[in-house]
Amino acid sequence: MGLLAASGGFTRYRFVGEVNKQTLREAPDRLKKYAFVDIDGTADERSYGWVAFEDYLDTEWRGAPPEKGHYLAFSLRLDTRRISPAVFKKHLRLAIDIEKQQMQGEGKVFISKDRKKEIAERVKLSLMARALPIPAVFEIVWNTIDQVLWLCTTNGKMQQLFEDLFTMTFEMHLEPQTPSYLAERIVGVERALAIEHLEPSQFGG
């Protein structure tokens, strides 16, 4: 769930170092350079990249630009193909059985480990090509005045994927604003350290 939904989880980031104004001006072109590439016609397992905030099918920002006043708004799209382990096991078994029948006709009885690996890879590619990618979209809002950025997820793997792609795109580094960081910023280092040693209390009526 993201900014366009009724509720959701968010990760707040700050920028490490100064933000280059030239980079901000280049933001639309940089987003397009690392835009999402569709994998519907391939057997690729996953694809990810930037898309328009308003429409995750828009990778050219034809509907609306990413600039919204002093904000930049865009989304990270991740498409993933998944094969059920049970489906893979079934089709691998069928492929192995066919291989055994062919080998018996040639007077052979043993399938090598390398050959089994080749068959498994072939089965996986075949199933991947038939499976439809599942899309997931995560909105991003960047306040270019305060230099604060919000990512609409708290998933650790997605955070890492986003941070890596963001650094590649904009050549800048982000740092999550954790509760401990915010406490240090608001009350100072000494009080923030004291907060870390507080024990939870239960209040009963």
- 37 belongs to a structural domain: yes
Per-residue H/E/C for the chain: CCCCCCCCCCEEEEEECCCCHHHHHCHHHHHHHCECCCCCCCCCCEEEEEEECCCCCCCCCCCCCCEECCEEEEEEEEEECCCCHHHHHHHHHHHHHHHHHHHHHCCCCCCCHHHHHHHHHHHHHHHHHHCCCEEEEEEEEEECCCCEEEECCCCHHHHHHHHHHHHHHHCCEEEECCHHHHHHHHHCHHHHHHHHCCCCCCCCC
62 plus 140 within the same structural domain? yes
57 plus 105 within the same structural domain? no
Q: What number of residues does the chain have?
A: 205
74 plus 108 within the same structural domain? no
What is the domain range of residue 184? 11-82+132-196
140 plus 74 within the same structural domain? yes
45 plus 69 within the same structural domain? yes
19 plus 89 within the same structural domain? no
- 153 belongs to a structural domain: yes
Count of domains forming the chain: 2
- 138 belongs to a structural domain: yes
- 1 belongs to a structural domain: no
Residue 30 confidence (pLDDT): 98
137 plus 126 within the same structural domain? no
78 plus 98 within the same structural domain? no
145 plus 181 within the same structural domain? yes
- 205 belongs to a structural domain: no
What gap in Å lies between CA 148 and CA 12, rounded to an integer?
A: 7
Show pLDDT as tens, one digit a residue, over the chain (205 residues). 566 666 678 999 999 988 989 999 999 999 999 999 999 988 899 999 999 999 999 999 999 999 999 999 999 999 999 998 999 999 999 999 898 888 888 877 788 888 899 999 999 988 988 889 999 999 999 999 999 999 999 999 999 999 999 999 999 999 999 776 666 667 766 665 666 666 766 655 5
69 plus 20 within the same structural domain? yes
- 76 belongs to a structural domain: yes
Residue 199, token pair as written in the block: 């024990």
- 2 belongs to a structural domain: no
Judge contact between 151 and 13, C-beta under 8 A.
Answer: yes
- 3 belongs to a structural domain: no
pTM equals: 0.77
Residue 124 CB-density burial (10 A; 0-12 exposed, 13-18 middle, 19+ buried):
middle
93 plus 68 within the same structural domain? no
Residue 110 confidence (pLDDT): 82
52 plus 110 within the same structural domain? no
Residue 188 confidence (pLDDT): 66
What is the residue whose two structure tokens read 């991947």?
128
Q: What angle do CA 168, 169, 171 make, to 5 degrees?
A: 65
